[in-house]
Amino acid sequence: MTDLTLDEQKLFDFIEQRKVNDAKELIKNGDIRINCIDKTGMNPLDQACFRGEEELVRFLIENGANVDNRAHEQGYTCLMFAALAGNPPICQMLLDAGARPHAVNTINRTASELAAFVGQHECVSVISSYIDSGDIERILHPRGKESDVIYPSEFVTFIHDLTKTHEIHPVKITFEIAQNEHVLEHRKKLLFVIDTLFERQLRSKEPNEPQSIKLWIILHTIRELLKFVDNNSESGKTTKELMLLFAKKLLLMEPEDEVRKNEEALFRAAVRAFPYHNSLLFQTLAKSVAKIEFGKRPACFKMILQALFGPRFAESSKFCSTCGVSSAKKVCPKCKIPYCSPECQKFDWSIHKKCCEAIQQRPQTSSSYIELNEEDLEKMVMKDQEKIEEEEAAQNKEEEITEKEE
């Protein structure tokens, strides 16, 4: 498919020029094969991922783009390009569409390894945290359509969205359940599925310790949330109101506090309750947490993220002060602590306004994280090709010497 039509060549030009609307219109009306290949072996989806064009990536996937194109001359996949470009939402989209996280390029690097190499640590965490929706389907419906109970697709999707991500803050989890109260109609099954996923991580042929701890944090949080709701069921408040109250209690803080103590207590309790004490990652995490006096920084949440996704991710990301989402873009204008949205800032305001001045007095920490631009990424891909050519030249030289000796 390397012989491009004029429209296909124009499509690649539009993507390179970031003309998303023009590209979409051309795909709808032009002489376009959605998986056409350019001279380097890239299809339009590969190019869109490399440019970080989320809207176009979504459109291409919806229109049948191949998320597993292996025609690139250095073996790069669209997931690798998205990881190099540092776009976690695109990585998530590709994984949901079936992109293979363990595929390797010609120098044996996966998408996650490439992301780590260029400092895109949130992409590393997105890829390494991913859980396939098929795993959840098989737990819920072990005999497929013949299973005794068929759960609604919304329930399957909710569990998948909850467990596939690297966003594991208890307030974030609480918000998700509060916005999807229907899942509590199957609360026992919700806990059962997450517990089953958790148990499988350390009992498989290839144990996944980070995934097991991540799922345990989610499971522990939901159990504590439901316990709080049950214990206050006669308060006259609705279930949603109680869940939001649980989130608010986690965020409580006084001006003299270095961390949110209720949140800290929940995370520390989750670490202590982890059932597989022979896990080396758990042992390392538990020792790290034990060295820090309760109420002192770094917060347990930060230490968990370092253990699961690496210190660079924890250092380079800006986490929402309310729900812990990484890549928070907003900040308090006075103390500069980050928030992911006006909603999170508003939810925290009654607590934060008492502490803002004290937070301003804290010493600031700086990050050593350096973001690579598009030109740097292109140089890296070319460098990989040069390395391959050098290895091939060395191998040919060895063969020539061997022939002469014979």
Q: What angle do CA 64, 68, 70 make, to 5 degrees?
A: 125
User: Same domain for 268 and 286?
Assistant: yes
Q: Is residue 383 part of a domain?
A: no
Q: Which of 12, 23, 81 is nearest to 52 (CA)?
A: 81
Last-in-domain residue among 78, 109, 130 = 130
Q: Is residue 297 part of a domain?
A: yes
User: Same domain for 161 and 141?
Assistant: yes
pLDDT of 3: 85
* C-alpha–C-alpha distance, residues 70 and 46, integer Å: 10
Q: Is residue 241 part of a domain?
A: yes
Sequence-distant (≥ 6) Cβ neighbours of residue 261 within 8 angstroms: 252, 253, 294, 295
Q: Is residue 249 part of a domain?
A: yes
Last-in-domain residue among 361, 376, 396 = 361
Chain length of the chain: 406
Q: Which of 345, 175, 323 is nearest to 243 (CA)?
A: 175
* C-alpha–C-alpha distance, residues 107 and 392, integer Å: 12
Q: Is residue 96 part of a domain?
A: yes
Q: What is the CATH number of the domain that holds 38?
A: 1.25.40.20
The domain total for the chain is: 3
User: Same domain for 234 and 263?
Assistant: yes
pLDDT of 368: 40
141: domain range? 133-315
User: Same domain for 246 and 342?
Assistant: no
pLDDT of 2: 60
- Residue 236's SS3 state is coil
pLDDT of 137: 97
User: Same domain for 74 and 150?
Assistant: no
Q: How many CA atoms lie within 13 A of 388 on its CB side?
A: 14
- Residue 295's SS3 state is coil
User: Same domain for 182 and 293?
Assistant: yes
Q: Is residue 396 part of a domain?
A: no
In Å, how far from its chain's centre is CA 202? Answer: 21
pLDDT of 362: 84
User: Same domain for 355 and 245?
Assistant: no
pLDDT of 310: 87
**Tokens 């042992």 found at:** 283
Report, as ranges of residue numbers, the positions in the chain whose pLDDT lies below 70.
1-2, 364-406
H-helix or E-strand containing 331? Answer: strand 330-331
User: Same domain for 106 and 183?
Assistant: no
Last-in-domain residue among 113, 130, 147 = 130
User: Same domain for 114 and 151?
Assistant: no
User: Same domain for 36 and 174?
Assistant: no
User: Same domain for 67 and 209?
Assistant: no
Q: Is residue 92 part of a domain?
A: yes
Q: Is residue 390 part of a domain?
A: no
User: Same domain for 166 and 311?
Assistant: yes
